[in-house]
Structure 1
Amino acid sequence: MSATAHVFRLPDLGEGLTEAEIVAWHVAVGDEVGVDQEVVTVETAKAAVDVPCPFAGAVAELHAQPGTVLTVGSPLITISAGDGAGEPGRDAAGEQYRTEERAGSAERPLIGYGAGEAPARRRAGRRRASPTPPPSPPDAPSGSSQTPPNASSGSSQTPPNASSGSSGRAIRVISPLVRALAREWDIDLESVSPGPTGVIRKADLVAARATQPLGASGGDQTQTLGASGEVTETRVPIQGVTRIMVDRLTTSRREIPDATTWVDVDATGLMEVKEALRAARPELGIGVLPLMARIVVAGLHAYPALNASVDLAAGEIVRHGAVHLGFAAQSPRGLVVPVVHEASEMTTAELAAALRELTGKAREGSLTPAQLTGGTFTLNNYGVYGVDGSTPIINHPEAGMLGVGRIVDKPWVHEGQLAVRKVTQLGFTFDHRVCDGGTAGGFLRFVADCVEQPSVLLAEL
């Protein structure tokens, strides 16, 4: 039987993405893999995803180490198969792969899945004796998202993807992202109780972290004190989501002639409406963010020039028909901007539900590329960090971002009398190519008026 080598290349990522960074391999040279087995985790500008291989056979070569950025079409992994086994096109699974490779798939984050809805996907293959060692990943600082390839211990007592702790019990961790989070949060995996499947998931880590005393979790440290008391430095590579944000913000500053304007507003009326809604309809969970989202959508309806982007190649300003509202959120991968698609068609209650769902997924690190793509305007509630104001950087290629500072008690002249009111600062950065200062000022004043007198929104409904 002759061996045939099949090179699987980084597939079309969809969503206009053209490159991805290798996060971790789930197989090593010599492992046996099956069709549709997930072999590597890659990180794109939108999300971290697991890539399945359409070939079956033995792993002959891994073409890139963790931390390497590959473009679509670059060699990813070579599979050696006996007598053409596992070749796409020889079976129904291969035909499904080729169909998706040509047409794309709206249901999956990456094109190139092989067997469709397989009942189970093996995450690490069987180790086959091989004189060729797997490539060693580059050294990374503590807390890095890089994870070395899984290696089989050869012991019959420990199942694949499991390690044995000091207590002797098997610790099963499939996802490399879970291992990375455990390192970042300084959580001993042996102390984590797995779910019903016996595999430790992100949710199990979150639950374990919640039981730790305040300050127990560790993380990346950029400075440490040596024994002599001297301060030493460590270097954290710009990669993954950090590299993506660096590129995006640099592009924004380089290409967009932005300007920022701001105003202090009396948010007492807004807070009264929030409390009234909470008392009348507590199940809706309408807080400050959904109310601000409602106001922003109404403002963009009144000033559509700001719901736009600039197409430099065509020499056109594109005014979008619908408002797809992005909002800044923290995730295990860093700052992300989930998008509430068709926000302009939603009620305030529907906005609240959508924001709540996306915020939860951001915290879990489970947002899909589609949920991180297609925004036309961004709302940034940086007041949750305890700051009063900022100068937002536009989320390229959008044309504007509204920032909301913390809402605090301050002395304010109200109806001719000095009083203590709930005050916040609104900061608005806009692309000066899509409008002039009059339009931007009109939008910001509209938002401020709605914050001070929420009944103004009734005219827009």
Structure 2
Amino acid sequence: MSTTVGTRDFLLPDLGEGLSEAEIVEWRVAIGDVVTVDQSVVEVETAKAVVDVPCPYAGRVVALHGAPGEVRPVGQPLITIAPVDGAGGDEPAGHATYREEERAGSGNVLIGYGTGHGGSGRRRRRPRLALAPDAATGSPAAGGPGPASVPGPVATAVPADTSTPTDVTGPAADGRPAASGPRPAVAALVISPIVRRLARERGVDLTAVHGTGPGGVIRRADVEAAVAAPAPRLAAVPAQPAPAAHVGLADGDVVIPLTGIRKAIADKLSRSRREIPEVTIWVDVDATGLLATRAAINAATPDAPVSILALLARICLSGLRRYPQLNAHVDTEGQRIVQSAGVHLGIAAQTDRGLLVPVLRDAQRLTTRELAAELAATTAAARAGTLAPARLTGGTFTLNNYGVFGVDGSTPIINHPEAALLGVGRIVDKPWVVDGQLAVRKVTQLSLTFDHRVCDGGVAGGFLRHVADCVEQPALLVANV
């Protein structure tokens, strides 16, 4: 599907299970750069991670399909590469315009470039940058860019969109007369459907927004600035009733789009709550012995420290070996319960991008020290956003240490489609009865949330009690390791 003879389009690849799109974070290359096979060309953010995407082709970059902040669907062009030995010929139509914008230092790589004099046969198949032209002459609308020979965004017809009438000025895209009433002299320049959609969702009139991109292009940041600005910049679409979702906004309200990681979290947890009949049970435990065990291990080998989380993971693995019913998921379509052969342990990690659950595959094969090392490396990579998407899926049981937030207990939502999640609260000094005497001990609360379809209270209670006993008496682990 190359756009010019000799060029090749690299399509956005499948970045992991269940991912259908990715947002461009930063281009690693620019128009005119020469790239090698497997060179990283762009950093993208999916609903699960930030990843660098390597290009399988070598050659000269002639087109970048998408600007930072734009969402691209899997399977659509990402970058166009031409053979290096063909780079000395005439540039394809629109490259001069494209490079002029690059030299302007906008930092905003446009897509759907082209020129008005290039002829219909030289247009890109999927133009995205849009300026409403005069329907009869094809010339730019009043107030738009000058002749087609002047560098700047290309004037191409705006697709008809009945849900956003303010996106079209002058005659409609299908040739019908425009609706009566006052119209601004300058059409709204939009760079991608995501900007148009964002404006529609926020109730922003694009014709009233000042674009900061090249040639007055409206970018996502401009729409967000319009939302944050006081009236009249933030306005409902003319002649349309305000959507129910927008009713109630007042000055000072902050509107946060439910996209990316937050949308993925919302979708997954909502599905979990809809589908899984979950039950939470809990118990207070004396963790004094567990802390003493950790101190003894680390004193013996200070160069390879073991964390409390690693010991808790080891205890969970022991419990799942005894109660495999919780290391499972429900196959609703097949009407069956599937118990996993290996324990793919998920570790809930709070990051700047939201709550992630990286997975340690076949964790039962790791020693306690290996668990500690893997946990440290995995959570660090999750917070840095460098984990591959595959590392964020496929878990069979999750361990959630919410005690790091200074809270004692929780009734967490199961990480769908898993069947159980163990939560651990903070460890604090509390009065505790030891051998009939009141003493101050290190106490924590353990909570187990489980899918009641995979087991009943006896199994869940047995697992939690086993975990609690191992926390209080770590020597019990020796019999199960």
TM tier relative to shorter chain: 0.5 to 0.7
In structure 2, what is the Cα distance between the partners aligned to 1:237 and 1:409? 42
- Residue 52 (1) aligns with residue 54 (2): yes
Q: What SS class does the counterpart of residue 62 from structure 2 fall into?
A: strand
Q: What SS class does the counterpart of residue 303 from structure 2 fall into?
A: helix
Structure 1 residues 307 and 278: alpha-carbon distance in aligned structure 2, compared to 1, 3 A threshold: same
Q: Which amino acid aligns with 2:62?
A: V
In structure 2, what is the Cα distance between the partners aligned to 1:28 and 1:354? 33
Q: Which amino acid aligns with 1:23?
A: I
Asked if 1 retains the 8 angstrom alpha-carbon contact of 2:27 and 2:41, the reply is yes
- Residue 23 (1) aligns with residue 17 (2): no
Q: Over the residues paired in the alignment, what is the CA RMSD in angstroms? A: 3.4
Structure 1 residues 303 and 51: alpha-carbon distance in aligned structure 2, compared to 1, 3 A threshold: same
Asked if 2 retains the 8 angstrom alpha-carbon contact of 1:261 and 1:427, the reply is yes
Asked if 2 retains the 8 angstrom alpha-carbon contact of 1:31 and 1:59, the reply is yes
Q: Which moved more, 1:397-406 or 1:408-417?
A: 408-417
Post-superposition CA distance 1:359-395 (Å, at most 9, x none): 3323333222343333211111110111101111111
Unaligned runs of 5+ in 2: 88-93, 111-226, 231-249
Map of 1:129 onto structure 2: 96
Asked if 2 retains the 8 angstrom alpha-carbon contact of 1:28 and 1:62, the reply is no
Post-superposition CA distance 1:276-322 (Å, at most 9, x none): 22223323311211111111000000100000111222222111111
Asked if 2 retains the 8 angstrom alpha-carbon contact of 1:225 and 1:231, the reply is no
- Residue 247 (1) aligns with residue 248 (2): no
Asked if 2 retains the 8 angstrom alpha-carbon contact of 1:323 and 1:344, the reply is yes
Q: What SS class does the counterpart of residue 433 from structure 2 fall into?
A: strand
Q: Which amino acid aligns with 1:39?
A: V
Unaligned runs of 5+ in 1: 86-126, 136-146, 151-222
Task: Give, in angstroms, the shift of residue 9 of structure 1.
Answer: 2.0
Select 1:41's aligned residue among 25, 43, 47.
Answer: 43
- Residue 324 (1) aligns with residue 344 (2): yes
Asked if 2 retains the 8 angstrom alpha-carbon contact of 1:264 and 1:426, the reply is yes
Matches within 5 A, 1:286-365: 286-365=306-385
Map of 1:62 onto structure 2: 65
TM-score of the pair, normalised by structure 2:
0.62
In structure 2, what is the Cα distance between the partners aligned to 1:53 and 1:278? 45
Matches within 5 A, 1:85-100: none
Asked if 2 retains the 8 angstrom alpha-carbon contact of 1:20 and 1:42, the reply is no
Post-superposition CA distance 1:393-447 (Å, at most 9, x none): 1111111110000000111222222221111111111111111111111111111
Asked if 1 retains the 8 angstrom alpha-carbon contact of 2:286 and 2:442, the reply is yes
Q: What SS class does the counterpart of residue 295 from structure 2 fall into?
A: helix
Q: Which amino acid aligns with 1:73?
A: G
Of the two, which has the highest radius of gyration? Answer: 2
Asked if 2 retains the 8 angstrom alpha-carbon contact of 1:3 and 1:82, the reply is no
Asked if 1 retains the 8 angstrom alpha-carbon contact of 2:24 and 2:72, the reply is no
Q: Which amino acid aligns with 2:69?
A: P
Task: Give, in angstroms, the shift of residue 64 of structure 1.
Answer: 6.8
Q: Which amino acid aligns with 2:293?
A: V
Post-superposition CA distance 1:167-220 (Å, at most 9, x none): xxxxxxxxxxxxxxxxxxxxxxxxxxxxxxxxxxxxxxxxxxxxxxxxxxxxxx
Matches within 5 A, 1:428-439: 428-439=448-459
Q: What SS class does the counterpart of residue 255 from structure 2 fall into?
A: coil
Post-superposition CA distance 1:22-51 (Å, at most 9, x none): 233517985445354433322224321122
> Percent identity of the aligned residues?
54
Paired residues, number:
333
In structure 2, what is the Cα distance between the partners aligned to 1:340 and 1:313? 27
Q: Which moved more, 1:258-267 or 1:39-48?
A: 39-48
TM-score of the pair, normalised by structure 1:
0.64
